């Protein structure tokens, strides 16, 4: 009783709890090792080793690895909003594709006069009989401009959409469905030739990036390394966000939004912040994806594509950030294998994965390890 | 030869003028001219022949069109040669042998047109109103080809007021290209009454400009009259188009409604979104296809009535799949709506692939029963197809049925209780788990009915459900959860609005605009059009 009285009488001093380190010691070690492998071993294996060496990395494996790392970055971004803010987006493929299109526009301009028609305009515009670049293509020949667009376009779209959606307190499955409809509508829009992004063929046949030939193994290595760095940086940035004070409010919103509001916080700016950051990260992932796979078209915005992203996160374990990296690697690795080996069984497998993960692995692969540690 | 021909032409004209319409046998001169004359003579002859309204003349015209007429210069006769037997075209008498110098009469394009107009003139006098109507329709497409005298005679003869009005328009259209200014003016006034888009095309040249900026029609008064007439026609066309848009909107809305109704039941009840709902539609459609196939092999006489059997089969198969989904997956994810969404999405992938593996990735063919094909025309540019009319009626019936189940039965009472307050319903003894299963089965069954209806208007393939799922979610979101009326208004509203936007903005932009409108609408009313009243802050 005395202790209680003391507590009541004592002047209230609110002290923020000590801020934990971003990662555990093992976490940092794994991250450092992965970065070292990415920045040193991969270039060595791809460039220095003779092609017949068992450790040599071929262009195929470089592309596959780079692609999976792009997916992983998108999964991390999605985990930031779903795992920590409770907003299940079924439309993150849109931001991925927007980043990809922003990069694709630059790559199309880099083709220069090497296209089929030998025109200054991208081939599809010549095909549509357009005489000059539309206004939204202005500046796309500058790499800096492209970098700005990669961040700004997904960011602004996400901000505007999020502002409308979160302000009206749309949440839960409602919000998920609206994000899905949003990316679906964007897909339809980009499928039109008149929209000015190449219609259903999208952008392809890239020749070079910053003047370097895009198919050269050296360029691929650089892109691979950059993707790895972006993934690591994205992971650290997201971890920094969720470990910050802001991140705690965000988690609180996930657990009990109404209570957070009653406590005096307006959830809108918090949700909007993580939502926009997540979209920008997704856009960056898309921008790194396009030069490596060499094509971007509206099917990236298909609702099924976005839901596949969600299964990466669910598979890896949401709310763990590192888990989705593993999830993306497992699922898209399995997809590469299945679609080549048993194409007709891939959808069975993916569908079963959705059901099995939600029923039996609610915490994903990361949950398995957490349990074992305990 | 030439003066001779001219003489004969004059004679023919005299004959034609002197004996309009009561020549019993064909004039030999006319027939000869038709066979051996030059272009103008032949045209005159065709007109004169068709003015006689003699069945023999019709036979000759038809034979000319068929290319079975030969003419002999030496015998000065024309023969119809069919099946190796020759007849004298003028008398109709059989002829033993065609003279050796007889040659086929070549029908050039100009003559062919004249002959067809001549045939149309015969058709205009046919006793059967349907044949007359068809002849008039042919003239409406090309009124300039119509012979004024023939049309005038047909108007005088015509007893059906509708057909007479149409003939009047044809006459006006023909007069429009004449030289008489007063008649042209009058013709424009009459054309303004027309409903046919073809007459609009006739009037257009009157108001068009030449490339150098001058008007093609020099007379300003005629131009003004033509402009007013075009506006009048457009105004009526707009009314028809609006009626058409409303109808196709309601039709789309009723299909959406069938898809959204089941969704509203399952979502309203359990708060879970069943992403496999679209695949339940697909199952209903495939069930319909299977029933159709069964009828074709076992009851070919009753194929027209396969739908009567398909409706319960579609309901039952979709309901069974739905109950299985609820029992095996959704039940274990209760209270975790986002996970349910993912799991059911996985199920939808499995169902799509399953159907693809079993029935093939190609669309299957579901035919409309004969009583569903065709439609009723409410205006010249608007036809209401029967299959869509039936679907509107069908979805109205389904809504009524669902309403009755929810409001008049014990199950419905339970469903409403669980929707409003699950915990309280459970406390007073409602078996909520069983209600969940039954309601899910009901919602799935309604989706099966929707699939059955869809099979009558669209393609049936493994991806059928995917096309509808987003739109039907939008309808549910727009209407508000747990409210039948909301779903009805939401679906029909979505359908009508998109069909009105489509002609203005194109189908894709219309979809985007509708979506943006929904997002903005939710700003104003987050709970949808019809909200359940409740006290829960997180409702």
**Closest Cα in chain A to B338:** A173
Q: Is B539 on the interface with A (CB under 8 A)?
A: no
Choose, out of A79, A91, A174, A350, the residue to mutate when testing the contact with B (most B CBs < 10 Å): A174
Q: Are A164 and B520 in contact (CB under 8 A)?
A: yes
Tokens of A288: 């790194």
- The span from the first CA to the last CA of chain B, in angstroms, equals 100
Query: Would you tell me which residues 492-521 of chain B have a C-beta closer than 8 angstroms to some C-beta of chain A?
Result: 506, 508-509, 511-512, 515, 518-520
Tokens of A194: 């008149």
**pLDDT-based confidence at A372, cuts 50/70/90?**
low
How close is the nearest chain B Cα to the Cα of A14, in Å?
Answer: 29
Backbone φ, ψ for residue B181 (5° rounding) = -65, -45
Number of C-beta neighbours around residue B260 at 10 A: 33
Measured CA angle at A168 (ends A165, A170), to 5 deg: 60
CB contacts of A169 in chain B (<8 Å) are 526
**pLDDT-based confidence at A70, cuts 50/70/90?**
very high
More confident position, A373 or B435: B435
Separation between Cα atoms, residue B336 and residue A141, nearest integer Å: 48
Residue B316 has pLDDT above 90, yes or no: yes
Separation between Cα atoms, residue B465 and residue B277, nearest integer Å: 7
Residue B217 has pLDDT above 50, yes or no: yes
**Among B352, B523, B538, beta carbon nearest to A168:** B523
**Closest Cα in chain A to B523:** A168
**Closest Cα in chain A to B343:** A355
Q: What would the DSSP string read from start to end of B241-285?
A: HHHHHHHHHHHHHHHHHHHHHHHHHHHHHHS---TTHHHHHHHHH
Q: For the segment B404-445, what is each residue's pLDDT rounded down to a tens digit?
A: 998 899 988 998 888 888 888 899 998 988 998 998 999 999
DSSP at B99: -
Residue B325 has pLDDT above 70, yes or no: yes
DSSP at B84: T
**Among A168, A348, A352, beta carbon nearest to B526:** A168
pLDDT at residue B533, rounded to an integer: 53
Residue A147 has pLDDT above 90, yes or no: yes
Separation between Cα atoms, residue B475 and residue B498, nearest integer Å: 12
**pLDDT-based confidence at B532, cuts 50/70/90?**
low
Are B342 and A357 within 8 A, CB to CB?
yes
Are A351 and B350 within 8 A, CB to CB?
yes
Are A311 and B526 within 8 A, CB to CB?
no
In B368-409, alpha helices (H) = 386-408
**Among B273, B346, B526, beta carbon nearest to A355:** B346
Are A303 and B470 within 8 A, CB to CB?
yes
Residue A13 has pLDDT above 80, yes or no: no
Pairing of strands B85-88, A295-296: unpaired
Buried-exposed string B267-298: b where 16+ CB fall within 10 A, e elsewhere: bbbbbbbbbbbbbbbbbbbbbbbbbbeebeee
Separation between Cα atoms, residue B312 and residue B476, nearest integer Å: 25
Residue A10 has pLDDT above 60, yes or no: no
pLDDT mean over A206-216: 88
**Closest Cα in chain B to A173:** B338
Residue B471 has pLDDT above 80, yes or no: yes
Separation between Cα atoms, residue A152 and residue A143, nearest integer Å: 14
Q: What would the DSSP string read from start to end of B313-345?
A: HHHHHHHHHHHHHHHHTGGGGTT-HHHHHHHHH
Pairing of strands B77-82, B85-88: antiparallel
**Residue closest to B255 by CA, chosen among B446, B400, B513, B506:** B446
How close is the nearest chain A Cα to the Cα of B82, in Å?
Answer: 56
CB contacts of B329 in chain A (<8 Å) are 355, 359
pLDDT mean over A23-48: 85
Separation between Cα atoms, residue A121 and residue A98, nearest integer Å: 21
Residue B35 has pLDDT above 60, yes or no: yes
How close is the nearest chain A Cα to the Cα of B119, in Å?
Answer: 48
pLDDT at residue A3, rounded to an integer: 59
How close is the nearest chain A Cα to the Cα of B521, in Å?
Answer: 10
**Among A172, A189, A310, beta carbon nearest to B337:** A172
Q: Are B342 and B334 in contact (CB under 8 A)?
A: no
More confident position, B311 or B68: B311
Q: Average per-residue pLDDT in chain B?
A: 79
Q: Which residues have CB under 8 Å from B339's CB, separation 6+?
A: A314, A358, A362, B333
Q: Is B299 on the interface with A (CB under 8 A)?
A: no
Residue B19 has pLDDT above 50, yes or no: no
Are B342 and A348 within 8 A, CB to CB?
no
Q: Average per-residue pLDDT in chain A?
A: 87
Buried-exposed string B187-196: b where 16+ CB fall within 10 A, e elsewhere: bbebbbebbb
Separation between Cα atoms, residue B69 and residue B66, nearest integer Å: 8
Tokens of A60: 């195929």
Tokens of B422: 């699950």
**pLDDT-based confidence at B526, cuts 50/70/90?**
low
More confident position, A150 or B191: A150
Task: Please tell me whether residue B463 adopts helix, strand or coil conformation.
Answer: coil
pLDDT mean over A224-253: 93
pLDDT at residue B536, rounded to an integer: 46
Are A185 and B523 within 8 A, CB to CB?
no
For B503, the enclosing helix (H) or strand (E) is: helix B484-505
CB contacts of A301 in chain B (<8 Å) are none
Q: For the segment A254-308, what is each residue's pLDDT rounded down to a tens digit?
A: 999 989 999 999 999 999 999 999 999 999 999 999 999 999 999 999 988 998 9
Q: Is A102 exposed, middle or buried (0-12, 13-18, 19+ CB in 10 A)?
A: buried
**Among A170, A310, A352, beta carbon nearest to B526:** A170
Separation between Cα atoms, residue B172 and residue B181, nearest integer Å: 12
Q: For the segment B510-523, what is each residue's pLDDT rounded down to a tens digit?
A: 888 888 888 777 76
Query: Helices B277-298 & B220-270, crossing angle to 10 degrees?
Result: 100
Q: Which residues have CB under 8 Å from B524's CB, separation 6+?
A: none
Q: Which residues have CB under 8 Å from A159's CB, separation 6+?
A: A272, A275, A276
Task: Please tell me whether residue B130 adopts helix, strand or coil conformation.
Answer: helix
- Which of the residue ranges A3-12, A94-103, A114-123, B74-83 would you say has the lowest mean pLDDT? A3-12
Hey, which of A302-316, B28-42, B53-67, B112-126 has the most confident mean pLDDT? A302-316
- Which of the residue ranges B11-15, B111-115, B319-323, B476-480 would you say has the lowest mean pLDDT? B11-15
With pLDDT > 70 as the criterion, what percentage of chain B qualifies?
85
pLDDT at residue B155, rounded to an integer: 79
CB contacts of B351 in chain A (<8 Å) are 351
pLDDT mean over B275-297: 92
Separation between Cα atoms, residue A111 and residue A141, nearest integer Å: 10
Interface contacts A/B by beta carbons within 8 Å: 121
**pLDDT-based confidence at B134, cuts 50/70/90?**
confident
Separation between Cα atoms, residue B426 and residue B116, nearest integer Å: 80
Q: Are A326 and A90 in contact (CB under 8 A)?
A: no
Backbone φ, ψ for residue B135 (5° rounding) = -65, -40
With pLDDT > 70 as the criterion, what percentage of chain A qualifies?
94
Tokens of B207: 């108001």
Are B347 and A344 within 8 A, CB to CB?
no
Choose, out of A168, A304, A349, A356, the residue to mutate when testing the contact with B (most B CBs < 10 Å): A168
**pLDDT-based confidence at B21, cuts 50/70/90?**
very low
Are B537 and A258 within 8 A, CB to CB?
yes
**pLDDT-based confidence at B529, cuts 50/70/90?**
low
Separation between Cα atoms, residue B293 and residue A161, nearest integer Å: 48
Number of H-type helices and E-type strands within chain A? 15, 4
Contacts 24+ apart (CB under 8 A), B291-295: B292/B366, B292/B367
pLDDT at residue B105, rounded to an integer: 76
Q: Is B220 on the interface with A (CB under 8 A)?
A: no
Q: Is B272 on the interface with A (CB under 8 A)?
A: yes
pLDDT at residue A92, rounded to an integer: 94
Q: For the segment B167-187, what is each residue's pLDDT rounded down to a tens digit?
A: 777 777 777 766 677 777 777
More confident position, A10 or B462: B462
Measured CA angle at B324 (ends B323, B326), to 5 deg: 65
CA distances from A318 to A83, A166, A174, A367, B167 (A): 5, 21, 20, 9, 76
**Among B267, B340, B519, beta carbon nearest to A178:** B519
pLDDT at residue B24, rounded to an integer: 44
- Which of the residue ranges A166-170, A232-236, B384-388, B482-486 would you say has the lowest mean pLDDT? B482-486
**pLDDT-based confidence at B249, cuts 50/70/90?**
confident
Are B342 and A352 within 8 A, CB to CB?
no
pLDDT mean over B485-503: 86
**pLDDT-based confidence at B380, cuts 50/70/90?**
low
B448, HSE (Cβ side, Cα atoms, 13 Å) = 27
Q: Which residues have CB under 8 Å from B76's CB, separation 6+?
A: B32
ipTM of this predicted complex? Answer: 0.82
């Amino acid at each position: 009783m005395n202790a209680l009285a003391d507590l009541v009488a004592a002047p209230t001093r609110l002290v923020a709890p000590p801020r934990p380190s971003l990662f555990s010691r093992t976490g940092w070690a794994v991250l450092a090792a992965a970065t070292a492998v990415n920045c040193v071993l991969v270039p060595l294996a791809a460039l220095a080793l003779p092609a017949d060496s068992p450790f040599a990395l071929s262009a195929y494996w470089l592309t596959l690895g780079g692609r999976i790392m792009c997916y992983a970055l998108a999964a991390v971004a999605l985990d930031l909003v779903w795992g920590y803010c409770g907003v299940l987006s079924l439309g993150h493929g849109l931001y991925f594709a927007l980043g990809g299109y922003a990069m694709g526009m630059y790559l199309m301009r880099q083709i220069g006069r090497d296209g089929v028609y030998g025109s200054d305009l991208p081939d599809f515009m010549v095909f549509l009989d357009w005489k000059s670049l539309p206004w939204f293509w202005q500046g796309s020949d500058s790499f800096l401009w492209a970098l700005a667009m990669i961040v700004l376009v997904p960011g602004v779209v996400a901000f505007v959409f999020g502002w409308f959606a979160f302000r009206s307190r749309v949440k839960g499955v409602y919000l998920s469905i609206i994000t899905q409809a949003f990316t679906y509508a964007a897909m339809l829009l980009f499928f039109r030739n008149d929209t000015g992004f190449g219609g259903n063929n999208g952008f392809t046949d890239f020749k070079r990036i910053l003047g370097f030939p895009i198919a050269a193994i050296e360029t691929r290595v650089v892109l691979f390394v950059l993707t790895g760095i972006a993934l690591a940086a994205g992971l650290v940035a997201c971890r920094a966000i969720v470990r910050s004070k802001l991140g705690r409010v965000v988690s609180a919103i996930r657990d009990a939004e109404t209570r957070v509001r009653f406590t005096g916080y307006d959830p809108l700016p918090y949700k909007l912040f993580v939502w926009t950051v997540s979209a920008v990260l997704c856009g960056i992932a898309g921008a790194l994806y396009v030069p490596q796979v060499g094509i971007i078209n509206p099917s990236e915005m298909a609702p099924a594509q976005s839901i596949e992203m969600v299964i990466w996160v669910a598979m890896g374990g949401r709310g763990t950030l590192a888990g989705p990296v593993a999830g993306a690697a497992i699922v898209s690795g399995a997809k590469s294998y299945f679609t080549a080996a048993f194409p007709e069984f891939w959808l069975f497998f993916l569908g079963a994965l959705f059901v099995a993960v939600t029923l039996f692995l609610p915490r994903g692969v990361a949950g398995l390890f957490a349990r074992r540690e305990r | 030869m030439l003066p001779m021909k001219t003489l004969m032409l004059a004679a023919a004209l005299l004959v034609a003028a002197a004996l309009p319409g009561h020549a019993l046998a064909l004039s030999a001169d006319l027939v000869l001219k038709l066979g051996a004359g030059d272009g103008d003579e032949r045209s005159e002859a065709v007109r004169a022949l068709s003015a006689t309204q003699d069945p023999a003349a019709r036979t000759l015209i038809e034979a000319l069109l068929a290319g079975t007429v030969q003419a002999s210069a030496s015998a000065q006769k024309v023969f119809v040669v069919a099946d190796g037997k020759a007849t004298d075209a003028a008398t109709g008498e059989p002829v033993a042998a065609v003279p050796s110098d007889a040659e086929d009469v070549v029908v050039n394009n100009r003559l062919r047109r004249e002959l067809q107009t001549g045939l149309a003139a015969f058709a205009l006098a046919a006793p059967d109103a349907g044949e007359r109507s068809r002849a008039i329709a042919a003239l409406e497409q090309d009124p300039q080809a119509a012979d004024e005298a023939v049309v005038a005679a047909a108007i005088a003869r015509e007893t059906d007021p509708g057909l007479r009005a149409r003939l009047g328009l044809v006459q006006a259209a023909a007069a429009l290209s004449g030289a008489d200014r007063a008649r042209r003016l009058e013709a424009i006034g009459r054309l303004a009454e027309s409903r046919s888009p073809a007459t609009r095309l006739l009037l257009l040249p009157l108001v068009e400009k030449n490339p150098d900026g001058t008007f093609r029609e020099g007379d300003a008064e005629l131009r003004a009259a033509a402009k007013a007439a075009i506006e009048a026609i457009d105004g009526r066309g707009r009314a028809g188009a609006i009626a058409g848009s409303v109808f196709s909107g309601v039709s789309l809305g009723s299909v959406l409604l069938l898809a959204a109704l089941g969704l509203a039941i399952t979502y309203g009840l359990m708060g879970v979104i069943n992403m496999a709902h679209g695949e339940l539609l697909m199952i209903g459609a495939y069930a319909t296809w299977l029933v159709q196939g069964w009828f074709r092999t076992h009851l070919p006489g009753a194929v027209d009535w396969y739908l009567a059997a398909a409706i319960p089969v579609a309901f039952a198969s979709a309901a069974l799949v739905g109950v299985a989904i609820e029992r095996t997956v959704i039940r274990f994810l209760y209270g975790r709506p986002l996970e349910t969404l993912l799991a059911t999405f996985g199920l939808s992938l499995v169902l799509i692939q399953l159907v693809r593996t079993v029935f093939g990735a190609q669309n299957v063919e579901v035919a409309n029963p004969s009583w569903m094909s065709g439609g009723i025309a409410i205006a010249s540019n608007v036809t209401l197809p029967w299959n869509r009319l039936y679907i509107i009626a069908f979805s109205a019936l389904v809504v009524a049925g669902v309403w009755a189940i929810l409001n008049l039965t014990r199950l419905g009472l339970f469903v409403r209780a669980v929707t409003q307050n699950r915990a309280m319903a459970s406390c007073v003894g409602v078996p909520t788990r069983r209600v969940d299963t039954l309601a899910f089965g009901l919602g799935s069954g309604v989706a099966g009915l929707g699939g059955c209806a869809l099979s009558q208007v669209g393609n049936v393939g493994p991806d059928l459900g995917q096309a509808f799922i987003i739109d039907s979610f939008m309808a549910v979101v727009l209407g508000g959860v747990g409210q039948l009326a909301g779903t009805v208004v939401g679906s029909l509203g979505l359908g009508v609005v998109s069909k009105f936007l489509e002609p203005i903005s194109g189908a894709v932009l219309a979809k985007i605009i509708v979506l943006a409108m929904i997002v903005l609408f939710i700003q104003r009313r987050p709970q949808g059009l019809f909200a359940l009243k409740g006290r829960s802050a997180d409702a």
